[in-house]
């Protein structure tokens, strides 16, 4: 039902866009018609260029998200295990969480140059803090009854974490991953674009930047379409599936 409504409105928007561009109010260099965009999109995919850049961006974001999630969990575990780490992690989050990754970029370029490492660093920074913040909040707000029951039934140590703390915090963990992904995805595109400006190469952001240099407006739109599609796929397929198979199935959502 929801999907159909989205499809319906997308169709109307594209139709409106086509009408505007056919009216000739704007030059096609400013606003290419949907037809031109789709043509550029297909051509670019046929050339393999757009797909290559998409893969480049996806691999780099997966790498960054993987490392970021790993450290987020490590710090979250340390903070529930040791009181001193809890204070430390809390301070760390307070300092780092409000800092947009892009604001750090000049420093990062100074430290690591404009290569791949810098982009991965920006992604880790964008994803780590929201995931850590949500996970520690989840751990801290576990209903006491679950840990009481766990202790009573003889669950101890690392088992308590894997069998009780993590599933009980799942609503928080998933929302942390969602925010982490969204921030990392935006930071990635922006970082690639800025690196494009200083001579670096690779990725969707860089591709958009490059098409601007060639005045290939339709090509820029084509890359934007890819970004929208990936965002929708991750949101609607990945996260909604993940929720359906966990917290919704378990009746842990507030709906």
Partner 1 sequence: MNDFLKAVSISKTYLNENKKLKVLEDISFSIGKGEILCILGASGCGKSTLLRVIGGFERIDKGEILICGNKVLKPSADMVMIFQDYNQLFPWMTVLENVLFPLKVNKIGASAMQRIEISIEYLKLVGLEDFKNYYPHQLSGGMKQRAAIARGLALKPSVLLMDEPFGSLDAITRSNLQNELLDIWRKTEVTIVFVTHDINEALALGDNIIVMDKTPGRIKERIKNFQERPRNRRSDEFLDLYEKIYSMLDVQI
List contacts with partner 1 (CB under 8 A). 143, 145-146, 148-149, 151-155, 159, 163-164, 167-168, 170, 246, 249-252
Token digits of residue 168: 């009980």
Q: How far is the CB of 252 from partner 1 (least distance, A)?
A: 6
* Nearer of residues 241 and 249 to partner 1, judged by Cβ: 249
Token digits of residue 163: 């069998």
Q: How far is the CB of 171 from partner 1 (least distance, A)?
A: 11
Q: How far is the CB of 100 from partner 1 (least distance, A)?
A: 35
* Nearer of residues 31 and 142 to partner 1, judged by Cβ: 142
**φ/ψ (deg, to 5) at 90:** -60, -45
* Nearer of residues 2 and 153 to partner 1, judged by Cβ: 153
Half-sphere exposure of 167 (CA within 13 A, CB side): 14
Q: How far is the CB of 250 from partner 1 (least distance, A)?
A: 5
Q: What distance in Å separates the CA atoms of residue 77 and residue 158, rounded to the nearest whole number?
A: 10
Give me the long-range contacts of 53-58 (CB less than 8 A, separation at least 24): 53/202, 53/203, 53/204, 53/206, 53/207, 53/223, 54/204, 54/226, 54/230, 56/202, 56/203, 56/204, 57/188, 57/189, 57/192, 57/203, 57/204, 57/205, 58/230
Q: How far is the CB of 167 from partner 1 (least distance, A)?
A: 4
* Nearer of residues 199 and 251 to partner 1, judged by Cβ: 251
* Nearer of residues 25 and 152 to partner 1, judged by Cβ: 152
Q: What distance in Å separates the CA atoms of residue 135 and residue 144, rounded to the nearest whole number?
A: 17
Q: How far is the CB of 254 from partner 1 (least distance, A)?
A: 12
* Nearer of residues 58 and 252 to partner 1, judged by Cβ: 252
Give the residue from 124, 110, 141 showing the smallest Cα distance to 64. 124
């Amino acid at each position: 039902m929801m999907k159909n409504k989205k499809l319906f409105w997308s169709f109307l928007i594209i139709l409106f866009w086509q009408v505007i561009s056919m009216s000739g109010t704007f030059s096609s260099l400013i606003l290419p018609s949907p037809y031109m965009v789709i043509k550029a999109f297909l051509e670019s995919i046929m050339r393999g260029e757009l797909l290559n850049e998409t893969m480049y961006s996806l691999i780099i974001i997966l790498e960054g998200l993987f490392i970021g999630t790993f450290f987020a969990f490590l710090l979250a575990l340390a903070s529930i295990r040791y009181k001193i780490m809890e204070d430390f992690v809390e301070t760390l989050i307070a300092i780092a969480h409000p800092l947009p990754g892009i604001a750090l970029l000049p420093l990062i370029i100074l430290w690591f140059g404009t290569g791949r490492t810098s982009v991965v660093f920006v992604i880790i920074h964008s994803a780590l803090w929201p995931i850590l913040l949500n996970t520690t909040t989840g751990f801290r707000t576990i209903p006491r009854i679950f840990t009481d029951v766990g202790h009573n039934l003889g669950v101890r140590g690392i088992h308590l974490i894997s069998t009780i703390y993590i599933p009980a915090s799942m609503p928080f963990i998933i929302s942390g991953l969602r925010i982490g992904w969204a921030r990392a995805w935006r930071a990635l595109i922006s970082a690639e674009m800025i690196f494009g400006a200083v001579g670096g190469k690779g990725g969707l952001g860089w591709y958009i930047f490059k098409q601007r240099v060639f005045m290939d407006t339709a090509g820029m739109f084509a890359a934007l379409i890819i970004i929208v599609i990936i965002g929708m796929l991750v949101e609607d397929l990945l996260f909604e599936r993940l929720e359906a198979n966990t917290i919704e199935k378990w009746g842990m959502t507030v709906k």
